[in-house]
Amino acid sequence: MRHTGFRRTFVAIGVCSSLALAASACGSGDGDTASGKTRITVNCEPPKSAKVDRRFFDDDTAAFEKQNPDIDVVAHDAFPCQDPKTFGAKLAGGQMEDVFYTYFTDARHVVDINQAADLTPYLKELKSYDTIQKQLRDIYTVDGKVYGIPRTGYSMGLIYNRKLFQKAGLDPDKPPATWEEVRADAKKIAALGDGTVGYADYSAQNQGGWHFTAELYSQGGDVVGADGKAGVDTPEGHAVLQNLHDMRWTDDSMGSKQLLIINDVQQMMGSGKLGMYLSAPDNIPILVKEKGGDYKDLALAPMPGGKGTLIGGDGYMFNKRDTPAQIRAGLKWLDHMFLTPGKGFLGDYARAKKNDAPVGLPEPRLFTGAADAKDQQVKKANANVPVKNYQAFLDGNQQLQMKIEPPDAQQIYSVLDSVVSAVLTKKDADIDQLLKEASAKIDSIPRS
């Protein structure tokens, strides 16, 4: 839900987002300019406010055009790359770019409403396709046909403040591995006083529902079962809420301010007033560069609970109106920009290091085999963050089941948001009743 290859905290509206419902399409139509070049429109160009990312993206695209003088790439900037408020309308109105960004969770929906081009006949021209992790490729594969190309992935973990762990008498090299240990450690950290919070969680703007899902996965549960029915009114769901209730009301380790969203919690962690919270690794540079944190104090552990972790990510799909020449050009552009180990917009680690961008964060691996080895070698050689602080996350993730966000995620998160907020704001919240009602509401959501 909250991850990107370049996102920070910028607020910008992409060219196509602002014109989402205008008469002209963002796709380039026939795909050919008067000069005879194949023209493709692409989105997710970083906004101008993200100066470094924007420069990297534009430089790489310019280099691609120089190497391929018969292709003209027209990039549209946007933040977020996929705006939930306009994405559906753009799809329905046929307004998508020729090559457009999607979250993993939306790939199936785009295919189901017949807005994606079938890439299967062209895959042999994408040199890197077979080097990408199969479980990621499968996200964009429907009934044996390929409709998209993965670009990045993430998995959730537990960010914690090593400095506060030491002050509280805890071993910062042994982060909590169970929810019982999280509760115990949070109580000790909160006991430091001076407004220090042991553990914080989101409970507004659908983010509480997102974290409930991650916590449920960590306990071995599912928001929606294989039968399509809600899976929240279960022992695992009760355990998630009871733990939050006990930390909030029995231990007083979650602070008195609730209805928090991601920016609130990041501010608390960056200012050194928070011990732990759940997040993806890409939060770490934000905590340092924008919230006042220090890399040496911030560490990442795997999801407590030992059963599973929520994963997500993104990729690119192609407009169903694309010509064969546009599809071939778009695949070639993806190879150049994102899918060459150690190079391109996300993989040029030497360039990132030179420009003081973080290198060495524990992102899930995109590639396999020799491509993965090459990517990791270049990344390790240019690391400029304390990678030892993330080793527990990397080791622990190997033991966890990787589970993607549920279908109709935002609607489900909205339902679960109210459940989490009730538990954190009402001492006498009836957990049994809350989960019973949430289960009925989830079952009433039409499945896409």
Taken in order 377, 379, 382, 383, the sign of the CA dihedral is negative
Phi/psi at 147 (5° precision): -120, 0
Our CA dihedral for 223, 224, 230, 234, rounded to 10 degrees, sits at -50
What residues contact residue 213 under an 8 Å CB cut-off, 6+ apart?
Answer: 223, 310, 405, 406, 409, 412, 413, 416
At residue 86, does pLDDT exceed 90?
no
H/E element holding 404?
strand 401-404
Which residue, among 348, 344, 370, 349, has the nearest Cα to 132 in the 3D structure?
A: 370
At residue 188, does pLDDT exceed 60?
yes
For the chain, where do the domains classified as CATH 3.40.190.10 start and end?
Answer: 38-146+312-339, 157-307+400-444
Q: What is the mean pLDDT of residues 108-135?
A: 93
Instruction: Kindly state the tokens that stand for 203.
Output: 């409970």
How far are the Cα atoms of 215, 218, 223, 301, 421 from residue 236, in angstroms, in the given order?
Answer: 9, 9, 10, 21, 18
Q: What is the pLDDT of residue 407?
A: 79
Q: pLDDT over 70 for what percent of the chain?
A: 92
Q: What is the pLDDT of residue 436?
A: 98
Q: What is the pLDDT of residue 447?
A: 66
Per-residue pLDDT reduced to its tens digit, 398-409: 889 989 888 788
At residue 82, does pLDDT exceed 50?
yes
At residue 8, does pLDDT exceed 60?
no
More confident site: 303 or 90 = 303
Cβ–Cβ under 8 Å, residues 315 and 139? yes
At residue 446, does pLDDT exceed 80?
no
Its pTM stands at 0.80
At residue 66, does pLDDT exceed 60?
yes
CB atoms within 10 A of CB 145: 13
More confident site: 291 or 14 = 291
Q: What is the pLDDT of residue 19?
A: 30
Which residue, among 266, 269, 264, 278, has the nearest Cα to 297 in the 3D structure?
A: 269
In 246-310, which residue ranges form alpha helices assigned H by DSSP? Answer: 262-270, 283-289
The separation between CA 371 and the C-alpha centre of its own chain, rounded to angstroms, equals 23
pLDDT confidence tier of residue 25, bands split at 50, 70 and 90: very low
Which residue, among 376, 369, 364, has the nearest Cα to 400 in the 3D structure?
A: 364
Q: What is the pLDDT of residue 7?
A: 34
Q: Confirm or reject CATH 3.90.1150.10 for domain 157-307+400-444, answering yes or no.
A: no
At residue 246, does pLDDT exceed 80?
yes
Q: In 403-430, which positions are buried (b, 16+ CB within 10 angstroms) versus exposed (e)?
A: bbbbbbbebbbbbbbbbbbbbbeeeebe
CB atoms within 10 A of CB 147: 24
Q: What is the mean pLDDT of residues 121-142?
A: 93
CB atoms within 10 A of CB 194: 5
At residue 202, does pLDDT exceed 80?
yes
pLDDT confidence tier of residue 221, bands split at 50, 70 and 90: very high
Average pLDDT value for the chain = 90
H/E element holding 216?
helix 207-218
Q: What is the mean pLDDT of residues 369-398?
A: 94
Cβ–Cβ under 8 Å, residues 183 and 269? no
Which residue, among 138, 131, 171, 190, has the nearest Cα to 402 in the 3D structure?
A: 138
At residue 359, does pLDDT exceed 50?
yes
Q: What is the mean pLDDT of residues 84-97?
A: 84
Q: What is the pLDDT of residue 175?
A: 97
Residue 416 CB-half CA count within 13 A = 32
Per-residue pLDDT reduced to its tens digit, 296-334: 999 999 999 999 999 888 999 999 999 999 999 999 999
At residue 344, does pLDDT exceed 80?
yes
Strands 197-199 and 401-404: unpaired
Cβ–Cβ under 8 Å, residues 312 and 98? no
Q: What is the pLDDT of residue 448?
A: 59
Q: What is the mean pLDDT of residues 156-180?
A: 98
Q: What is the pLDDT of residue 93?
A: 85
- For 38-146+312-339, CATH number out of 3.40.190.10, 3.40.50.150, 3.40.50.2300, 3.40.50.850 equals 3.40.190.10
Cβ–Cβ under 8 Å, residues 69 and 2? no
pLDDT confidence tier of residue 28, bands split at 50, 70 and 90: low
What residues contact residue 233 under an 8 Å CB cut-off, 6+ apart?
Answer: 435, 436, 438, 439
